[in-house]
Structure formats: C-alpha cells, structure tokens
C-alpha cells in the first residue's frame, strides 16, 4: 500500500520559473546577451529553476519590462543602461564618454568599489536589483555613411543619431550635430538623411545589416558597450538563501560567458567589417585626448556633483 510519506518523497520538487527578457535574438552565436543567457541557464541545470527566454520586445518595450521587474511580473531583464536613470540618476555615470579607459577597467571599478551598492540604493526599495553588467560588443566607436573619421574636425558636418539627451550633448561637444532617434527608426533615419551615422560598438552595424549604408567605422573607445542585468527584488527576496546563492552564481556564470563571447568576437570583428566593405579608420595621434577634453564638461551637466565625484574617485582608486 502506498503511504502518504511515500507519495511525498516520490513527488518532484516544484520548478521555479525564471523569465528572462533581452533585446534582439536569443542566439549565442550573434548576440552577446544571448551568451549571458546561455551561461546563466547552464549554471542552473540540476536546480529547481527553469529558464524561459523572451527575445526582441516580446514582453514589451524597455520601459514596460522595467515596470514588470518592479512589479515582480518578470524575474530578469537584460536592459539598456539608461532605463533606470529616472529612479537612480547616479547610473548616468556608467555611460559618460571617456570615463573609463577600457571595459576591463570598468569591470574592475564595479568589482572593487561601492558604486554598485550606491546605484542600487534607490532601486531596491522600488523592487529592482541591479545585479551586474553585460557588454554587447567592443567599445563604442563612430559609424557613418561617408567620412573616414580620423580627427575631431572630420566630425563637423555629420549629424549623428543619439540615444538620449546625454549622448546628444557629447555628440555636439565633439563638433558634430545630433538628433535623438529610436533604435527601431535608425535605418530609415540614415537612409533618408535624417542622420549620417551613430555611436555604437562595431558589431552593432554588422549584426543589424547596417553596413549596407554605414561604410565607415572609427574605434574611438568612447565607452564600454554596457547594458545592465536587472532582477526583480521582490522575487529574489522571496527565495531561500540557497536559492539566492544559486541565482547569484548563475549571474556570475552568465557574465563570464558574456565576457568570453566579447573576447572571441574581438578577434573577428575587424575582418567582418572588411568583408562587408567597410572602411576602418584610426584616430590620429592626440585626437582621442582632444575628444576627452572636449566632452569632459558634459559630465557636469549630466550628473549631480556628489554622484560624479563618486565615479571619479572610484576610477582613481582602481588606477592607483
């Protein structure tokens, strides 16, 4: 006779569904954030967690997914870094032009200083946890339709697409003009002459097919190509200590997979551009330093003084 105890032992544990949303296709071969998801999911094999992936705005826009995280309707969201600016203004420092010398320095700053807890301070009471950072490619450079940019002077006369007002300000500081255009409207904007290009990592144009009309790229290392990993704090807080540790380990595994993808991609991205017929240019000696000097005043316009100083001090502590 089957006992109740026997039934309880035999019954499978309840699975815990983890919905994770991203921008673009869930394809680890072409999308660095999909590589994060692959590493994240593999780390949860053998646990009670099951991962469901929702690509390309299937759960709504960036703003809608941000709200879903806050409400506990979505567990993990791979988001654009600007989405939480209104709630955590300090996060604007992540995208400041020329704040970080490299992606490695960015990682070191976030790992070795208190910036991450400081950015989380206003997010956590609102149900959102900033768990870490993804990269979508190599550092940000200059894509355009017609000019091999090697000096700041070459930017004069170009109108570049801006993600937001902050990016628009430093585009103008570099000597170009700019216009805020949503990513979905970028191809039409460039092909109709509304914009002549944009600031993005090199793989952006390759992944989207924009190399058909963006025929020049200059790697200026303006900033790491950073996106963010958001976790529902209400959901995370309801997990047991063991379950939280499993999610923490999965996030670290995902970040490691993301960084490995970037390292592998860096070895082939230049050839992909060449194969697509894109002209690759480098900045002349001293030009990047001139760009740093030109855009530095925009930092003060973008951030509160104490927030900006926290970033400056954090970077200095790592460099020391």
- Model pLDDT, residue 274: 92
**pLDDT (mean) for 249-263:** 97
Question: Over the stretch 201-227, which tens digit does the pLDDT of each residue have?
Answer: 998 898 889 999 999 999 999 999 999
- Model pLDDT, residue 206: 87
CA distance 320 to 317: 5
Asked whether residue 127 carries a pLDDT value surpassing 70, the answer given is yes
CA distance 212 to 206: 9
Question: Among 97, 148, 103, which residue's Cα sits nearest to residue 273?
Answer: 148
Question: Over the stretch 259-290, which tens digit does the pLDDT of each residue have?
Answer: 999 999 887 888 899 999 999 999 999 999 99
| pLDDT band per the 50, 70, 90 thresholds, residue 1 | very low
Asked whether residue 8 carries a pLDDT value surpassing 50, the answer given is no
CA distance 107 to 134: 10
Provide the whole-model pTM.
0.89
Structure tokens at 14: 């309840």
Question: Over the stretch 26-68, which tens digit does the pLDDT of each residue have?
Answer: 999 889 999 999 999 999 999 999 999 999 889 999 999 999 9
Question: Among 43, 23, 21, which residue's Cα sits nearest to residue 252?
Answer: 43
Tally DSSP H helices, then E strands, for the chain. 13, 11
Dmax (CA) for the chain in angstroms is 86
């Amino acid at each position: 006779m089957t006992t109740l105890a026997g039934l309880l032992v035999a019954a499978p544990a309840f699975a815990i569904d983890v919905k994770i949303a991203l921008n673009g296709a869930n394809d680890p071969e072409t999308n660095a954030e999909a590589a994060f998801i692959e590493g994240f999911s593999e780390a949860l094999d053998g646990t009670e967690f099951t991962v469901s992936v929702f690509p390309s705005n299937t759960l709504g826009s960036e703003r809608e997914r941000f709200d879903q995280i806050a409400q506990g309707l979505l567990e993990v969201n791979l988001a654009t870094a600007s989405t939480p600016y209104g709630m955590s203004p300090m996060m604007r420092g992540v995208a400041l032009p020329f704040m970080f010398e490299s992606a490695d320095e960015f990682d070191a700053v976030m790992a070795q200083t208190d910036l991450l807890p400081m950015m989380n301070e206003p997010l956590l009471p609102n149900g959102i946890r900033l768990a870490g950072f993804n990269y979508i490619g190599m550092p940000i450079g200059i894509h355009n339709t017609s000019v091999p940019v090697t000096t700041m002077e070459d930017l004069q006369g170009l109108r570049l697409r801006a993600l937001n007002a902050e990016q628009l300000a430093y585009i103008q500081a570099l000597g170009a003009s700019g216009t805020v255009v949503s990513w979905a409207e970028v191809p039409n904007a460039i092909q109709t002459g509304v914009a002549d290009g944009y600031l993005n990592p090199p793989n952006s144009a390759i992944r989207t097919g924009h190399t058909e009309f963006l025929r020049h790229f200059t790697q200026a290392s303006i900033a790491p190509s950073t996106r963010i990993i958001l976790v529902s704090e209400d959901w995370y807080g309801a997990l047991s200590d063991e379950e939280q540790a499993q999610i923490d380990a999965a996030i670290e595994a995902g970040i490691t997979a993301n960084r490995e993808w970037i390292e592998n991609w860096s070895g082939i991205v230049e050839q992909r551009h060449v194969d697509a017929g894109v002209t690759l240019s480098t900045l002349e000696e001293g030009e990047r330093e001139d760009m740093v000097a030109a855009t530095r005043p925009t930092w003060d316009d973008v951030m509160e003084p104490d927030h900006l100083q926290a970033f400056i001090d954090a970077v200095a502590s790592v460099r020391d």
